[in-house]
Structure 1
């Protein structure tokens, strides 16, 4: 019996998408003929252009309503798109905060005017969004944030500091959490969510250079930054609901199930004969392949569950935890058994379409921290699935 991912409709959708990728991927993509971009700014320009190509082809916002520029399909088609995108290693979604997190959140919480203003521009790549959640003293304990929003006439004034804000130096907009009421017995009360233009007066971005040479993360400083009343998303003081929805969609988007399946298969293919003849290495590599396949099946089940319920649940935490830690295990084995020439290479930003095991190793640590650490995901699973007492970090 065929499931939804391999039924007649899914196969037809997959064929159409594969042909589109064949016709539209940049010339030389995934080969040495596609030269790395000169710098991060050039890479971002290229990726914005690619997002526009997706939009023009009808492949952006696949599960979004057509009235806001989407395809009007379901999460099933969206998941098939992700699977096929990872199969061909298509260009990275530079607007992932907007396309996979802010957009779905706005569809739930945004006003009609906010949806009209923001959603289509997310899909075309005109607006890149960043996520202003974490602070120096509020990471896993997000409810401890101190950035404040003070009412100012018909609008608000924002003051505070955010950190680990991905690609803020390239962003046009930020989804920001700020405190509009004093902290009481329940810290997450009194938090509000805002849509903040990144070119506002009093807003400063400072990129943080990483070990891999890129500056993916930034600090953001807000000094009495003015925003209009309609920048508020949802009701004042009820931004925690907005935050949880955004984070749930982030975990759903960062469940790298199909990518892990490809990475495990790539490791198996690259194993030299002497390594494959080693019983321990062979057992570990095949075990990773099996785990990656199981992760893909779990992701398919999660897609069906989210489609049926209309919201992302605790499955996203389990999926994110499993696949990000699986990624570390795959890379650890690759670095220990593959020949040096297959592992070592120049680690530089902008070299897309090919696999760099050193970059995968570096990014593996980041992936278990972003969107909530592995410890936070275990807390969520323990409390909501196993019924254990609440943990400390939120």
Structure 2
């Protein structure tokens, strides 16, 4: 998949390919394609790989050099993400910090926060978790009830967060809290706080997902403390920070998702040929539909990325629909993979998570995709109201 990048990016592409060929070796090569944002498999190997990327200057490519970044262009980031996905390198462990928190600090953080935290993200010395969702506030962030009150030169946090991706691996959390409970509107009176995990008032309990991976956690704050200067943006203006942060989830991040699904479709086709299921006309049609879905994702990703490279907003609608389309398409692919595997798909070769076949893992992990990152129902509301201009 190529994008509308300048010819000058060809040299950068060669540099990326050369570096990956020289460093994606040994134990790293043995773990090609391992892990994902919903899978903590081979965690220590992936941490070591991320440190290897850090040493090569491949993390935070577009971040300013004064904070440890490379100062690269968006076009170069697109090139890197494309080559990284093609090489099937191990999934990165600190995606919460690299894709969300880091850009959030660059946009809304103080100079002191940028200089303190950004270099430690890039050196993989700090692993971050996100404290947005709560038992009573999933996609509806305006409904959060976790509170923070000022006590001298610190904030005191009380409440609960849930579905914190890799939260049990994190040593810092960025947490949206209610600091003005009497605000007239629900989304008013929220504040974004940076909270250290290593303290008595923070308890993190891992939660296993359907595939047996400890992907996420629930976090309990009981008198947890953080310094007064750990506010990102302004006090009681956290809604603006949250919305700005969630808007950063689209763009170049779509590339590895799209390429990974293309690879999975090829695996499902191979399984169908091997099992004889390919002889069934209905199965062939479902395989064709899965392939078409990846090509639609490819075209959408290209539109979004090309729009970003040109600095236009024409692809906003494509970006808004991409997550909804991809999650549904991936679930259908998982169902197809299980149907092709047949009765064997109902049996584990060994306990979870090691005993899962490709089909089983794809099927189980895809079930949550229409929930996390914004439920499909919420996504449809956003598309109808903000893209199509329909009434609430």
**Alignment of 1:324 onto 2:361:** no
User: Secondary structure of the residue that 1:127 maps to in structure 2?
Assistant: coil
Partner of 1:272: 273
Task: Provide the C-alpha distance between the structure 1 equivalents of 2:388 and 2:353, rounded to a whole number of angstroms.
Answer: 41
Offset of 1:349 from its aligned partner? 4.8
5+ long unaligned stretches in structure 2: none
What is residue 338 of structure 2 aligned with on the other side? 335
**Post-superposition shift, 1:345?**
5.3
Unaligned runs of 5+ in 1: none
Equivalenced residue count is 383
3-state SS of the aligned residue for 2:262? helix
Q: Does 1:360 align with 2:372?
A: no
- C-alpha displacement of 1:47: 2.0
- Which residue number corresponds to residue 185 of structure 2? 186
Aligned to 2:244: 245
Given that 1:87 and 1:262 are in contact with CA atoms closer than 8 Å, whether structure 2 keeps it comes out as: no
TM-score, with length taken from structure 2: 0.88
**Aligned equivalents of 2:371, 2:325: Cα separation in 1:** 13
Q: Which residue of 2 aligns with 1:263?
A: 264
Q: Distance in 1 between matches of 2:327 and 2:9?
A: 27
Q: CA, structure 1 residues 239+308, in 2 after alignment: closer, same or farther (shift >3 Å)? A: farther
Match for residue 303 of structure 1 among 302, 305, 315: 305
Cα distance in 1 for partners of 2:272, 2:118 equals 45
Cα separation, 1, equivalents of 2:342 and 2:18: 35
Partners of 2:391 and 2:186 lie apart in 1 by: 18
TM-score for the superposition, normalised by structure 1: 0.88
Please give the secondary structure, in 2, of the residue aligned with 1:8: coil
Q: Which residue of 2 is the match for residue 122 of structure 1?
A: 121
State the Cα distance separating 1:247 from its structure 2 match.
Answer: 1.7
1:225-236 map, 5 Å: 225-236=224-235
Pair 1:143 & 2:142 matched: yes
Q: Distance in 2 between matches of 1:207 and 1:53?
A: 27
Alpha carbons 1:201, 1:226 under 8 Å: kept:
no
Residues 94-141 of structure 1: per-residue CA shift (max 9 Å, x gap): 101001111111110011111111111112211110000111111122
Matches within 5 A, 1:182-221: 182-221=181-220
- Partner Cα distance (1:144, 1:23) in 2: 49
CA distance in 1, matches of 2:34, 2:85: 20
1:86 Cα offset (Å): 2.3
Q: Is the 8 A contact 2:33 2:88 kept in 1?
A: no
Query: What secondary structure sits across from 1:272 in the alignment?
Result: helix
Check whether the contact 2:130–2:174 (CA below 8 A) recurs between aligned residues.
Answer: yes
Q: 1:130 to 1:254 in 2, by over 3 A?
A: farther
Question: Match of 1:282?
Answer: 284
SS of 2:193 mapped into structure 1:
strand
Partners of 1:92 and 1:321 lie apart in 2 by 22
CA distance in 1: counterparts of 2:47 and 2:164, whole angstroms? 19
Are residues 183 and 309 of structure 1, via their aligned partners in 2, closer, same or farther at CA, if it must alter by over 3 Å? farther
Q: Please name the residue that 1:83 is paired with.
A: 82
Q: Does 1:19 align with 2:18?
A: yes
| Contact in 2 for aligned 1:76/1:304 (Cα 8 Å) | no
